Structure 1
Amino acid sequence: MTDKASNSLLAKLGNQLHKNKLVKAGEILLLFIFTYTFIKLIMPLAGDNPLLIQAVVWTANILMLIYVWIGLKLRGESWKDFGLVFGSISLRSAVKVTLLSLLVFVLAIAGFIIGSVIMANITGIPEGANMSGYDYLKGNIWMLIITLAGVYIVSSFGEEVIYRGFLINRISQIGNDSKKATIIAVILSSIIFGLIHYAWGPMGIVQTGFMGLALGISYIKLKKRLWILVLAHAYMDTILMAQLYMASN
């Protein structure tokens, strides 16, 4: 295939991603089908090694980010369309972003707690999420540092791009960005966000689902300023990892 023909095909695909609702829905489904297939095929190679299992999950998230980036390029868009603006920032703006991120952090924690209460009332057993996959962190400061570095990229940044920036925008666009479509997008993104934490058990799915709902609502109310959510997510990840590190003490 010649470069001209290839460029023409990519342009047509980009146009379909803009206009065709079925193609838009297919883009979302293909992302999760691809990710699910990748994890199913590669995960057995990790065996019971928690580090290798974590590496597979991180790799899957990075591949998802690449997929999302390709979708943006095909549309002629950029990360800015998801609310990610790169560049210098004034001290006043930095303070404002930090304060807003702390507010979102509190709201997300509240959502997490609500999920815990709901599950406790349904099951009658106030059990915590299954976090045994992070046992390698206990008492190991170097693994904590390495894990935090990876988590900030893959979880704090990656999950906000995928489950807020990508999902909410793409699902909303299928409904022509109407108010109803946006509400549905926020709800569906939070459900999917909860389900991808299936390894944490039923409690973890519900907890993260409600946390995702709080983050999704914040994303819309803050006019899609995604960096605020990335920071809030980073605070939660830091606290979680630190707790797991100190669990053996």
Structure 2
Amino acid sequence: MKTKIYNFLSKRYIVILTMLIAPLFGFIDRNFVFFFGLGIAFLILWGSNFEWTKFGMGKKITRNTILKSLLITVLFFIGFSIIDSFLQHYLGEFDLSSVEDIRGNFVGYFVLMLIMWVFAAFGEEFLFRGYYMKSLAELLGNSNKNWFLSAIITSVYFGVSHIYQGTVGMVSVFLWSLLISLIFNKNRNNLFLLVLIHGFNDTIGLTLIYLNKGNLISEWIQQLF
């Protein structure tokens, strides 16, 4: 049974079917879209006897990886503080209603932080970059051009999956995803780098919301218009 499941799910076209079917679960709950795809990816991982390299996890977390991820996170934070301010000026505010209840709520903040590191930082990178992007690039031909095309496709897909944050959220997440996908393109065997960048980035964002300071930077930048 295990071998049959693996042989079927590891067929290259399955990634396309998964990406097409997953959004249908959004009619039930948006979280099901994510967990359906993640379930398929984990079945493939299980069937391969946990061959993590199939998902770009060929390197362990090292001090150099941590330092590199922190540097990139800082650059992303500065860059997207500016980018998001421009986007909000023209596309409206982010819809942060899904995390509003953590403002001043330490327990809620702590619990959401744990959930974020497991399902957003690790889970989303494992699914969107480790499975979707890598498998799609291999399906298209595995050339550098096809990896770039896969980065664009999966970034659009990732951005649309954040529609609950509003139009500005989809555009911002698309741009963020495209940049981190290009980093994966240059580090195809080091998905943990992306996991750390994603986790550190969201840690900053959630902490600012918890402290009710999330709009300070964007408000200051918007004053420059």
Quote the RMSD (CA, aligned, Å).
2.9
Q: 2:158 aligns with which of 183, 193, 217?
A: 193
Residue 8 of structure 2 corresponds to 13
Aligned counterparts, 1:137-152, within 5 A = 137-152=102-117
Work out whether residues 84 and 172 of structure 2, in 8 Å CA contact, stay in contact via their aligned partners in 1.
Answer: yes
Q: Structure 1: which 5+ residue stretches go unaligned?
A: 1-5, 18-23, 44-55
Work out whether residues 73 and 201 of structure 2, in 8 Å CA contact, stay in contact via their aligned partners in 1.
Answer: yes
Q: TM-score, with normalisation over the residues of structure 2? A: 0.81
Residue 155 of structure 1 corresponds to 120
Q: Tell me, what secondary structure is at the counterpart of 2:92? A: coil
Higher helix share: 1
CA 1:109–1:192 in structure 2 vs 1: closer, same or farther (change >3 Å)? Answer: farther
Q: Tell me, what secondary structure is at the counterpart of 1:125? A: helix
Q: Quote the offset at 1:29 in angstroms.
A: 2.9
Identity %: 23
Q: 2:84 aligns with which of 112, 116, 123?
A: 116
Q: 2:129 aligns with which of 137, 160, 164?
A: 164
CA 1:32–1:235 in structure 2 vs 1: closer, same or farther (change >3 Å)? Answer: farther
Question: Counterparts of 1:112 and 1:66 in 2: how far apart (Å)?
Answer: 31
Q: Quote the offset at 1:161 in angstroms.
A: 0.8
Q: Quote the offset at 1:151 in angstroms.
A: 0.7
Larger radius of gyration: 1
Instruction: Give the partner amino acid of 1:132.
Output: S
Residue 96 of structure 1 corresponds to 64
Total equivalences in the alignment: 214
Task: Find out whether 1:37 has 2:32 as its counterpart.
Answer: no
Question: Counterparts of 1:140 and 1:178 in 2: how far apart (Å)?
Answer: 48
Q: Quote the offset at 1:240 in angstroms.
A: 1.1
Work out whether residues 115 and 210 of structure 1, in 8 Å CA contact, stay in contact via their aligned partners in 2.
Answer: no
Question: Counterparts of 2:170 and 2:161 in 1: how far apart (Å)?
Answer: 8
Question: Counterparts of 1:197 and 1:214 in 2: how far apart (Å)?
Answer: 16
Question: Counterparts of 2:150 and 2:93 in 1: how far apart (Å)?
Answer: 28
1:45-96 deviation digits (Å, cap 9, x = unpaired): xxxxxxxxxxx62x65344322102124446662222222587x6xxxx320
Question: Counterparts of 2:114 and 2:7 in 1: how far apart (Å)?
Answer: 39
Residue 49 of structure 1 corresponds to none
Residue 219 of structure 2 corresponds to none
Does 1 or 2 have the higher relative contact order (CA < 8 Å, sep 6+)? 2
